[in-house]
Amino acid sequence: MLNRAVIKLLVGSAAAARAEAYVAEGRVVAVARSKDGSRVVGHVVGSSNTPYAAVVELDEHGTPRSGRCSCPVAHDCKHVAATLFALLAREEGAADAGAGSTGTAAADAAAPEWERALAPLLGPGGDAPGGGGRAAGSGAVRGARARLDEVALHVELVPADDRARRLAARTGLRLVPRVALRPLVRGRSGRWVRTGISWRDLRYRDGTVPAEHLEVLRALDGLAGGARPTAFAFDAREQVHADELPASALWALLDDARRVGLPLVGADRAQSEVVWTAARSELVVSRVADGLLVEAEVHADVPADDLDPVGRPAGGVVGTTADGALLLGRLATALDATATDLLLREAPLVVPDADAPRFLRRALPALAQRFDEATLVGVALPEPPRPVLLLRVVRHADHVARLSWHWRYVSGEPPVVEATYPAGHGDSGARLAAARAASGTPDDGVRDVIRERAVLERLDGLLTRPVEDAELRGLATADFFGLELPDLAALADGDPDLEIEAVVDPDAPADVDYREAADVEVSVEIVGESTTPTGGRDWFDLGVLIRAGGHQITFEQVFRALATGRSRVLLPDGLHFSLDDERFDRLRELVEESRDLQDTMGKVLRVGRYQADLFAALDALGLVDAQAGAWRAALGGLAAGASPRPLEAPAGLAAQLRPYQQEGFEWLAFLAEHGLGGVLADDMGLGKTVQTLAAVVHAHEVAAAAGAPRPAPVLVVAPTSVVDMWETETARFAPGLRAAAVRGTRARRGEPLGDTVAGADVVVTSYALFRLDAEEYRSIAWSMLVLDEAQFVKNRQSVVYKCARELPAATKIALTGTPLENNLMELWSILSVVSPGLFPDPYRFSQYFAGPIEREGDDGRLAVLRRRVAPFVLRRTKEAVAKDLPPRQEQITEVVLAPRHRRAYDRYLQRERRNVLGLVDELETHRFKVFRSLTVLRQAALDVSLVDDGGEVSTGNPAGPRGGTEIPSSKLDVLFEMLDDVLAEGHNVLIFSQFTRYLGLVRDRLDDAGVDHAYLDGSTRRRAAEVAKFTSGRVPVFLVSLKAGGFGLNLTAADYCVLLDPWWNPAAEAQAVDRAHRIGQTRTVMVYRLVAQDTIEDKVMRLKEAKSALFASVLDGGTSAASGLTADDVRELLS
């Protein structure tokens, strides 16, 4: 089966697209299917105006098997596709026209004879005038030259075939002879002879025949079925019949033959040359006594007898001159099947008087277009029908309306509808022409574009939408019925060219009246009986009461409109009111900000204990009623900029709190009092532990003063290295509290957790034990959960995060100087544990906050985020609060790699670029491979001996006795030059690196130099002993891995810090440096960062600046910056 999909499959999408453009441009000048349906032949003008012949073989189902062409591509090209598309369009058009091609066969047998004869003109669409296609011009298929001396085209009249006889018998049309064509060659006697020449011979014989003559004959060969020079045209037939060929292409080629001088020879004995002339067709309509006579005539510029059409449709006529010569006349306008049939009638077509008005209005305009001339004898044309624009409006249920526009052409009085057309393209002649071209519909002679446009111009200013069918919903329906339809109806009352039909669907309510409310009353009240934030209630529901036009509107209707950005609310009975009001403006902002907090928009707006800023904004609007007094008191202290009530420092606290520590204690006590949670995000070294213990002691003293039972224990979860410190600090600062440290799993302890911690006020455990025995920890009632170094729960996919989230505790507090290190979702994770109602949905948080802030630098969203988290995140920096802390000076020392080190590094760089750059666009998929390559480059910048590549990259020399190589580490050389001076001046130095193997190389060099030192990494068992060696002053150098030194250490004995390798996470470096620069430090702390010049370390430093900006923007009030290691970041690191 032939269809567009099959054509595209044959030639490919690109060639098919170009082919469809060729068809639209009219480049297919001829196309025909063979009688047995097995072959399609086309004639296509190429891109350089070169004509090509294409032939396509079809299988028994009509599906193309292969295509050949005379173009350079030769097979299954765009010309083959264009031929098939043109055939498909023609056959689809013929199917749409039904049996109209046979004239009377298409009409109802009961209709008048004139109506049956002209049925194609009266039905929808109608026959397109003309023979189809455009003339081939002077082009013809160019093939290989044959050896011939002189050729001619024989033109002969032969009897009609059986098919024509059957058609004549069925329709009563005249039987006309056929025109047969064949090539001739000049014989020895000088006469034209048939012997020794055939269509096939034109391809092989050589000679001196003018090339233009051969081109015309070969093009005729191509029209009948030839394609490439090797194909056989016309098989073994000697003649081809003109009525079998596409009319427009045939007559264009015959005109070419005349122009280039190819002899056209008749069949008479004298071999007279065929007379070529122009011809024209004429339609004659005459008034007679009982009606109208309709006749078709043809005339030639050269007088001739018996002019008959050639083919059906006919591009020309054939006849005989007075002296007996054969005449061919090319028609200016090719006659389509309907016009040809009218010409072949034995007698004129009669239109009775009763049908004359309809004929003159409907059939005559379309019929006249099919002839060169039209003559009216005694006939007066009626007034043309006028266009009336009809709008039909159907109102359905649920505020749905359907509009349909049509042009009705009416005539007479009372008006009679002559024709109906869909409106929407009649507002300009250009659009109407475009619509007809797109649909293949001819101009039927009825529509009057100018008058249509005049009607449409009278609608200017009344409509907000184009004149075309439409379905309206909701407020669009209300606006149309309330604003536009009344104006249209008023215009139609005095305008005969506009009609409106408005109906109501039987299923739609009949009492809908679309109108706007004059005024709107708004108030907000708490829904339900409980108006206090106690009794386990973490939220309350706000109901918004709105009254308009005698209606009470529900919260759900209004807030759904606000949340979806609508500007008005429409009620079921058609009443609507605007939300363009200062009260609604602020409500809209609050809903927009808070909809990421709620899983669904219910009938009420739920405000939780963690939406203090939202409650404060509603209260400020003056919309919250007096019922909310308890909530106002509870949440007022959390509003942005508010301060909790002042408290006395607990008597049982054995420490003098600094002012900022007193503030932190009051904040923590306020959260605990109201069952809330938060993040204490002070800089390292500002005393987060003592502030927390102060809040715990305060809770015990309040309970004792009220005669209440002793509070449930507090659970502190901390890194393993800090567990002992919490136990020690509790005994030091809160001697009245009993502390217990959990140092093993239940299996190792041999007793239940309840027995281990019985009687304790503060229980300290590690993250690992908390994760392993999570069920046991959940079985105990806790008054507070404290997460020290809370970045351990920053990954919401981790088990320890889920354990912290699921642990029941009235208050949860996170202690961390770095609540976000890489991206905002880390902050979400921590907040979702301690303040679970603040941002319930991670996806909505990511869409509303993280994405816009990190990727787009959206300062507006950043401001909203800071306002939201401000009540639940307390952060102070050392620079802001610890005025007595000595300064910290930082310096970047650039290290120039030694030549051999540089060459080795560059080889690794080239290798890793090749390995990684192709994977960067799918960073998430290949994250492990990408980070491995980045790690290789970071190691190579330090010391090439750190890279474990199995010898894949040659560095020049084998490994030395300690695992190093003979290529020196440029950075170690710089470090030891620095140490010589620093140690000589009596300073104590912390040396940090992320790579423990590199620290091992430093340790070896220190041993070789005889410098005493301490060493700490994640595998060190006697951690406290190593720390004591340094803090006691026994050794001047402390080597610490960045991870092991990130928390739990107080190393104020050091006043120099050296960071051997930069990392793009600034928080990790900050934690390490803060081991020395913290309260208790009395000397200026010098921080040196050693950065290998022109290596990945340079790029890491720049990336780190962006990470620092993100942290500052959210927690320190700066503007937003991008974050997250992106594909562009990786490309920069490898550049």
Instruction: Report if residue 132 sits inside a domain.
Output: no
> Domain with 777 in it: what CATH number?
3.40.50.10810
Predicted pLDDT at 617 = 66
Residues 85 and 192 in one domain: no
Tokens of 989: 């130095």
Q: Tell me which residue has tokens 């340094």.
A: 1030
The partner residues of 891 in beta bridges, in order of sequence, read 1088
Predicted pLDDT at 1130 = 54
Residues 681 and 618 in one domain: no
Residues 833 and 944 in one domain: no
Across the range 530-557, mean pLDDT stands at: 63
Q: Which of 276-290, 598-612, 710-724 has the lowest mean pLDDT?
A: 598-612
Query: Confidence class of residue 368 from pLDDT cuts 50, 70 and 90?
Result: confident
Q: Which of 118-132, 154-168, 526-540 has the lowest mean pLDDT?
A: 526-540
Across the range 875-893, mean pLDDT stands at: 79
SS (H, E, C) 751-816: CCHHHHCCCCCEEEEEHHHHHHCHHHHHCCCEEEEEEECHHHHCCCCCHHHHHHHHCCEEEEEEEC
Parallel/antiparallel/unpaired status of strands 989-993 and 1056-1059: parallel
Residues 850 and 903 in one domain: no
Please tell me the distance from the alpha carbon of residue 784 to that of residue 713, in angstroms, as a whole number: 7
Cα distances (Å, whole numbers) of residue 952 to 644, 698, 878, 944 = 63, 64, 48, 13
Instruction: Report if residue 496 sits inside a domain.
Output: yes
Highest mean pLDDT of the ranges 132-146, 523-537, 622-636, 1082-1096 = 1082-1096
Across the range 238-267, mean pLDDT stands at: 88
Helices and strands per DSSP (H, E), number in the chain: 40, 41
* Higher-scoring residue by pLDDT: 138, 998: 998
Predicted pLDDT at 34 = 78
Q: Which of 693-697, 804-808, 1016-1020 has the lowest mean pLDDT?
A: 1016-1020
Per-chain mean pLDDT for the chain: 79
Torsion angle of the four alpha carbons 355, 361, 363, 368, in this order, in degrees rounded to the nearest 10: 130
Tokens of 786: 């404290």
Instruction: Report if residue 282 sits inside a domain.
Output: no
Residues 471 and 603 in one domain: no
- Helix or strand holding residue 133 (H, E): none
Q: What DSSP string describes 158-179?
A: E---HHHHHHHHHH-BPP-PEE
Is residue 229 within 8 Å of residue 200, measured between CB atoms?
no
Residue 780 has pLDDT above 80, yes or no: yes
Predicted pLDDT at 667 = 92
Range of the domain at 425: 386-504
Predicted pLDDT at 390 = 92
Residues 682 and 818 in one domain: yes
Predicted pLDDT at 956 = 38
Residues 6+ apart with CB under 8 A from 190: none
Domain boundary residue, one of 484, 504, 524: 504
Predicted pLDDT at 524 = 61
Residue 636 has pLDDT above 80, yes or no: no
Q: Tens of pLDDT along 1002-1035?
A: 999 999 999 999 998 888 888 888 888 988 889 9
Residue 660 has pLDDT above 50, yes or no: yes
* CA 796 to chain CA centroid, nearest Å: 29
Instruction: Report if residue 346 sits inside a domain.
Output: no
Residues 438 and 539 in one domain: no
Residue 108 has pLDDT above 70, yes or no: no
Query: Confidence class of residue 306 from pLDDT cuts 50, 70 and 90?
Result: confident
Tally of domains within the chain: 7
Instruction: Report if residue 831 sits inside a domain.
Output: yes
Q: Tens of pLDDT along 902-924?
A: 999 989 888 887 776 655 555 45
Torsion angle of the four alpha carbons 153, 158, 164, 170, in this order, in degrees rounded to the nearest 10: 150
Query: Confidence class of residue 388 from pLDDT cuts 50, 70 and 90?
Result: very high
Q: Tell me which residue has tokens 């090439």.
A: 944
Residues 774 and 865 in one domain: yes
Please tell me the distance from the alpha carbon of residue 1133 to that of residue 516, in angstroms, as a whole number: 61
Is residue 294 within 8 Å of residue 338, measured between CB atoms?
no
Residue 730 has pLDDT above 90, yes or no: yes
**pTM, full prediction:** 0.49
Tokens of 966: 């003979």
Predicted pLDDT at 605 = 59
Compute φ and ψ for 293, nearest 5 degrees: -105, 130
Residues 740 and 840 in one domain: yes
Instruction: Report if residue 1103 sits inside a domain.
Output: no
Query: Confidence class of residue 958 from pLDDT cuts 50, 70 and 90?
Result: very low
Residue 431 has pLDDT above 50, yes or no: no
Residue 640 has pLDDT above 60, yes or no: no
Is residue 547 within 8 Å of residue 569, measured between CB atoms?
no
Instruction: Report if residue 376 sits inside a domain.
Output: no
Predicted pLDDT at 680 = 94
Q: Tell me which residue has tokens 């902002």.
A: 589
Q: Tens of pLDDT along 144-191?
A: 333 477 899 999 999 988 888 888 888 888 899 999 999 998 888 889
Is residue 906 within 8 Å of residue 1098, measured between CB atoms?
no
Residues 816 and 699 in one domain: yes
Query: Confidence class of residue 842 from pLDDT cuts 50, 70 and 90?
Result: confident
Residues 914 and 995 in one domain: no
Predicted pLDDT at 753 = 92
Across the range 398-405, mean pLDDT stands at: 93
Predicted pLDDT at 247 = 84
Tokens of 795: 């990954």
Residues 6+ apart with CB under 8 A from 1057: 989, 990, 992, 1072, 1073, 1076, 1077, 1085, 1086, 1087, 1088
Domain boundary residue, one of 834, 855, 881: 881
Across the range 805-819, mean pLDDT stands at: 91
Please tell me the distance from the alpha carbon of residue 542 to that of residue 559, in angstroms, as a whole number: 11
> Domain with 72 in it: what CATH number?
3.10.110
Residue 228 has pLDDT above 50, yes or no: no
Q: Tens of pLDDT along 960-994?
A: 333 444 788 888 989 998 898 888 888 899 999 98
> Domain with 1057 in it: what CATH number?
3.40.50.300
- Helix or strand holding residue 667 (H, E): helix 659-673
Instruction: Report if residue 176 sits inside a domain.
Output: yes
Cα distances (Å, whole numbers) of residue 747 to 467, 750, 769, 803 = 81, 5, 11, 19
Tokens of 112: 């008048």
End-to-end CA gap in the chain: 57
Across the range 729-757, mean pLDDT stands at: 92
Predicted pLDDT at 434 = 45
Across the range 411-440, mean pLDDT stands at: 59
Please tell me the distance from the alpha carbon of residue 233 to that of residue 214, in angstroms, as a whole number: 14
Domain boundary residue, one of 480, 504, 528: 504
Q: Which of 114-123, 548-557, 651-660 has the lowest mean pLDDT?
A: 114-123
- Percent pLDDT > 90 in the chain is 29
Please tell me the distance from the alpha carbon of residue 171 to that of residue 600, in angstroms, as a whole number: 74
Q: Tens of pLDDT along 463-517?
A: 888 888 899 999 999 999 999 999 999 998 989 999 999 989 988 898 899 999 8
Residues 197 and 314 in one domain: yes
* Higher-scoring residue by pLDDT: 659, 1077: 659
Q: Which of 257-271, 450-464, 800-814 has the lowest mean pLDDT?
A: 450-464
